[in-house]
Structure 1
């Protein structure tokens, strides 16, 4: 950020006004609780050559809230972090800047609290290991090429001691039947855990992006590992620096050319990451040759700071959410469950190291006393998974996961199997069939066919086409972010027409619902090829009228009907149906090009499913849209139907009496 002398010290060139800025009164005035004190009005344009102006401008440009850069109308505030109680002995002199372009009053505390938490703070750096437990609160000075491992060990030790009875933080106990391998960082040999004694020793796991640089290769497990990519070498270094000997790395601990071993080890992913003492996350670079910034040869971004009139003003960096979310690591499908399933994470970014366990989080550039750690965990990057609310968990996880990319589309369920396996162990459990969550009956823990029907009511935020090899009735069969409706965890037993549910294998063998065996775990983790074809016997209706592309709806005068017309012209995958009552078919195909002839040859069928939400009195319904496969008795799910009724003229019973229904049997592939 700043020019440097030959000795490495930055040259802090200051403009005339900044040279005369006295930090003493700025850093000595402490605000009262829930109050911001404006100190200095920056009434001059920032100088591009002034180090302090550039620090202020860089700070303002990093808020992510659209306020842009420092302008000639900005205020410097002294502030207290929103979770720091007055009179606690931890009062800190920290600064923040609020540009007038933010468009908010200086007295809106909630806005400023969120703004400063996102931007971070400016202040004098704190030093000394005693600050870990006692304070003060403030920035730490970081070295681009060095990491304070004693700090990282202190984070781990804090969680191990303070959270030892908390299920969100405690690693799982290793079962002797798991049979997996670890890298011995001392000998560089890959060893079987069964050879390390009756109790598996503590170990760390590594989560990283394979990228194009990572090529699977045959390994001679009798010889020490050599010629490792830099991220793996740095992972071994971090493991040893933190006082551990063993590290799990998928590329080396899974026999990549042994399909049987790969299948077995993939099923253990939840247990491996869940039982590691911590997971090292390489959230920098696009492949394993990049390394972990600050560990060896990969330098971190220099931390912005300025020396002025005998004081040093340092930036804490603020939230690490954007740094992690914008990383290549956060775009990959396989890394999703690795981050979620871990009990503790050490995330290496280009700026700093971020730590998060189940209850607390810490950033390397911002010193927070351990006793205040719980208050600092407002912006955790990873969700609380093990004790998350039952009804919200699965929908959120599937939506987050399906936004990511896979190098091999056939891994869509493999890379999510660890999440599914852990959900099956919840109380009550959530099993799955081809990724569709199977919710349990209320007050019972047995999988319910009505719970499966509720799981079928998913939609795509944006369709990217078909994923072949997976059922059309599962979100795994389509590319794009899948949205479930997690609040719909009960299929209403009174209004729901009786729907018979069964499955068939490709060779025609039928499995009735009681024989699926989800309560014994076979459906949750095993091969589900025998459940490939979904059998539904239910009421259905035909979309008998001509369909039109949504961009033509207004031209056809359909805005006078009951169709809700909000922004239909932008909805390129919605199809208006001139039926009575009318609505929109949301197609899973990207930009469908159906003609009237195609529609008449392969008519669309609607299968209504009634859903009763927990906290709403009236049920809602979801209509699966099926299309016959030409020349066969099979159907595919190609979308869902939303009936828009802004005037509330119909309820579900009226809808079912309005359309002509017939009970039919559908075999859906």
Structure 2
């Protein structure tokens, strides 16, 4: 359910290169380049690569000298091609900057959005035109007697995902077995020319057949009922909105609405149709293109939020919002409209809108063709409007498979592999049965985020979702919780206003709270702060529709930060990192009553038709009542020569707490710009109430609070981490004002 668009710079257009003429001649230098040997030979094995720095680049160097503008050089088609595919900028230490060389890279160095990370691709090579002189490189003999040339490039010289070229798919090597004595499968990295006018749906259907056969984890997840109410879908052949037949495959759509109203998108049929509902011919381009795409891949049903949810029925709308996890995980695949700024843009290459650019390409007389790479899904999506919107986040996390349309090409992404139109891959060896791979979150495939496995890392994985979602834009900030309900329903935790309350165990019918004490995950998910973002002078923005104690209550360019989470924290009484002196929490009802937070968890007698949605505890009022020690503390200016060792210097003035052998750092939500800032002057001159959340053997976690006469409640304005042993803490209480309070926190 995507929302409206926002301004965001897009990827610059990929340079257009016309098809090169076969009759052009080659210069003497280019005639001597043995491309078949370069691409059909594993120069260094993965074992050898592991001995080199991750910024080392290996052999295959060939000096190209100075590359000039095409009109200034000869008619050599390879020289012109090299100029077109060269890296646009050289590292500043290289002189002259127009001196280039050819260099080989292995596919493991190229963005994983370009090549699958299967074992049979680990030794394949691609080629790039890189700035620098061959004479500046160091020659070294490795342990296995293979020679390698490499240097340590500046960051500006790292390989771009769309900055290399490979042989055309039509070329077949004379041998696919490396001659250097190393075993293992070898697959040639080859390119494919992409039609700038239309998508190759026959190619996509081939990807889907391979994925359906080989990848168990790509199958739709339909363990829970499709809905608390039946899923309605568009029949792409009749354009009627119908109830989805049992067991039928359907495709979901993820896109940016762009301010277009849902009114008029569906209409009643003419007399005699029995009140049937049809999709109008005036729907936005992206919906019309998606209908065509669904038919082109051999499917029939399409789920689109604006057409399949009754936008005028608030009850139906909420039912479907709460069912988003089932809708997207149950889809055969999800189409992602990653191009353009709104729904009027459509899917490039499907109907009327062409793709933006052709590939760089050269046909070498008497040899074979070379094909340049196109921007990857990772490169395009991270700069797209789609990637900035709040509603689209869970639409990328929940599906098992994404079919992504960009301005350059189409990509199919599943938990085991990525396909793209500009790459030609030989089919991976497989058995007659489906192969089980290590599941990989589809979103992490696209954005190359760090991946965590299930188990002890579920907490970090969940908090990482919170970090990323909190950077997203919403036209209506009050939609933040609804826009992530589906994701929360699939996490292994019960949540309340997005905050983790209890870990869910699939083996238990209900959580086993034995007292009022909440687990460590709850206190850790309350303990967030904000990394400074000096660029563009962006401040953290308050979402007043949500409480300050929840991460949903804040929006910032870099998101909420959970980097201080200690994975060793425990409830175990024997652990050195056990939590002690934990605060007690009550939820405030809309009638003013107080309910212990643990009592909101589903009980053995409660019934739910959908155990997944039961993990999202229904919200009461946005207020919590919290009881624990409250200290009244004063903070000191941080001297210019002092600096937090674990915090970057962004030019913000900071404050600390220091009292004898007890010290700590304060992190305000809104960071003052200068020492003259009124907020900073308040920070270092006033006394602040600090609520103790919990403590361990070596530190204490506080929320810094401010009272509001308007809401008659405290709000969170920052965090304080004091480093002290239990003995030092007890001594501190003798020197500062403190008391146990039950306060109202909003």
Q: For this structure pair, what is the TM-score category when the shorter chain's length is used for normalisation?
A: 0.7 to 0.9
Write the deviation string for residues 104-163 of structure 1: whole angstroms up to 9, x where unpaired.
867459989x9558346412211499xxx9965310111101222122112222221112
Cα 1:597/1:366, change in 2 over 3 Å: closer
Is 1:32 the counterpart of 2:31 in the alignment? no
Equivalent-residue separation in structure 2 for 1:87 and 1:436 (angstroms): 40
Structure 2 counterpart of 1:474: 550
Corresponding residue SS for 1:449: coil
Q: Using the TM superposition, give the Cα deviation of residue 285 of structure 1 relative to its aligned residue in structure 2, in angstroms.
A: 0.5
Structure 1 counterpart of 2:601: 517
Instruction: Decide which moves more: 515-524 or 253-262.
Output: 515-524
Structure 2 counterpart of 1:452: 522
Equivalent-residue separation in structure 2 for 1:64 and 1:159 (angstroms): 40
Structure 2 counterpart of 1:430: 493
Structure 2 counterpart of 1:626: 705
Equivalent-residue separation in structure 1 for 2:475 and 2:302 (angstroms): 25
Equivalent-residue separation in structure 1 for 2:121 and 2:566 (angstroms): 44
Corresponding residue SS for 1:571: coil
Is 1:542 the counterpart of 2:647 in the alignment? no
Q: Using the TM superposition, give the Cα deviation of residue 275 of structure 1 relative to its aligned residue in structure 2, in angstroms.
A: 0.4
Q: Using the TM superposition, give the Cα deviation of residue 94 of structure 1 relative to its aligned residue in structure 2, in angstroms.
A: 3.9
Structure 2 counterpart of 1:666: 743
Which runs of structure 2 are paired with 1:45-444 in the superposition (5 Å)? 45-49=67-71, 55-56=81-82, 59-61=85-87, 71-82=97-108, 94-100=126-132, 107=149, 115=158, 118-119=161-162, 121-127=164-170, 136-164=188-216, 166=217, 169-173=219-223, 175=225, 177-178=227-228, 179-193=230-244, 196=245, 199-213=246-260, 216-217=263-264, 219-221=266-268, 222-225=276-279, 226-300=281-355, 301-310=357-366, 311-317=368-374, 319-371=376-428, 380-381=445-446, 389-423=457-491, 429-440=492-503
Write the deviation string for residues 492-544 of structure 1: whole angstroms up to 9, x where unpaired.
555511422211124311112342125666873353024x221111122111x
Equivalent-residue separation in structure 2 for 1:446 and 1:109 (angstroms): 58
Instruction: Decide which moves more: 627-636 or 76-85.
Output: 76-85
Equivalent-residue separation in structure 1 for 2:721 and 2:591 (angstroms): 35
Write the deviation string for residues 150-204 of structure 1: whole angstroms up to 9, x where unpaired.
221122222211123x3x65432572554121000000011122xx3xx141011
Is 1:496 the counterpart of 2:580 in the alignment? yes
Cα 1:370/1:651, change in 2 over 3 Å: farther
Is the CA contact 1:575–1:587 (under 8 Å) kept in the aligned structure 2?
no
Equivalent-residue separation in structure 1 for 2:287 and 2:164 (angstroms): 34
Equivalent-residue separation in structure 2 for 1:472 and 1:375 (angstroms): 38
Cα 1:291/1:109, change in 2 over 3 Å: farther
Equivalent-residue separation in structure 1 for 2:550 and 2:78 (angstroms): 55
Is the CA contact 1:255–1:261 (under 8 Å) kept in the aligned structure 2?
yes
Is the CA contact 1:576–1:585 (under 8 Å) kept in the aligned structure 2?
yes
Corresponding residue SS for 2:347: coil
Q: Using the TM superposition, give the Cα deviation of residue 211 of structure 1 relative to its aligned residue in structure 2, in angstroms.
A: 1.3
Q: What is the aligned residue count? A: 628
Name the structure, 1 or 2, with higher relative contact order (CA <8 Å, separation 6+): 2
Is 1:657 the counterpart of 2:731 in the alignment? yes
Is the CA contact 1:90–1:137 (under 8 Å) kept in the aligned structure 2?
no
Structure 1 counterpart of 2:66: 44
Is the CA contact 2:652–2:671 (under 8 Å) kept in the aligned structure 1?
no
Cα 1:590/1:314, change in 2 over 3 Å: same
Cα 1:598/1:118, change in 2 over 3 Å: closer
Corresponding residue SS for 1:654: helix
Is the CA contact 2:665–2:721 (under 8 Å) kept in the aligned structure 1?
yes
Equivalent-residue separation in structure 2 for 1:220 and 1:84 (angstroms): 45
Is the CA contact 2:635–2:655 (under 8 Å) kept in the aligned structure 1?
no
Q: Using the TM superposition, give the Cα deviation of residue 21 of structure 1 relative to its aligned residue in structure 2, in angstroms.
A: 1.4
Q: Using the TM superposition, give the Cα deviation of residue 469 of structure 1 relative to its aligned residue in structure 2, in angstroms.
A: 2.0
Which runs of structure 2 are paired with 1:594-609 in the superposition (5 Å)? 594=679, 603-609=687-693
Cα 1:237/1:393, change in 2 over 3 Å: same
Cα 1:625/1:86, change in 2 over 3 Å: closer
Corresponding residue SS for 1:418: helix
Partner of residue 717 from structure 2, selected from 617, 638, 641: 638
Cα 1:630/1:90, change in 2 over 3 Å: closer
Q: Using the TM superposition, give the Cα deviation of residue 304 of structure 1 relative to its aligned residue in structure 2, in angstroms.
A: 1.5
Instruction: Decide which moves more: 575-584 or 409-418.
Output: 575-584
Q: CA RMSD in A?
A: 4.3
Equivalent-residue separation in structure 1 for 2:392 and 2:91 (angstroms): 28
Q: Using the TM superposition, give the Cα deviation of residue 403 of structure 1 relative to its aligned residue in structure 2, in angstroms.
A: 1.4
Cα 1:595/1:31, change in 2 over 3 Å: closer
Partner of residue 461 from structure 1, selected from 518, 531, 539: 531
> TM-score with structure 2 length normalisation?
0.73
Equivalent-residue separation in structure 1 for 2:336 and 2:546 (angstroms): 31
Corresponding residue SS for 1:224: strand
> TM-score with structure 1 length normalisation?
0.81
Cα 1:161/1:579, change in 2 over 3 Å: same
Corresponding residue SS for 1:415: helix
Write the deviation string for residues 578-619 of structure 1: whole angstroms up to 9, x where unpaired.
655444322223547338779988x4222234466xxxxx65
Gaps of 5+ in 1: 424-428, 613-617
Equivalent-residue separation in structure 1 for 2:542 and 2:283 (angstroms): 38
Partner of residue 554 from structure 1, selected from 620, 632, 639: 639
Is the CA contact 1:547–1:596 (under 8 Å) kept in the aligned structure 2?
no
Is the CA contact 2:70–2:83 (under 8 Å) kept in the aligned structure 1?
no
Equivalent-residue separation in structure 1 for 2:59 and 2:89 (angstroms): 20
Equivalent-residue separation in structure 1 for 2:651 and 2:93 (angstroms): 28
Structure 1 counterpart of 2:11: none
Equivalent-residue separation in structure 2 for 1:326 and 1:376 (angstroms): 26
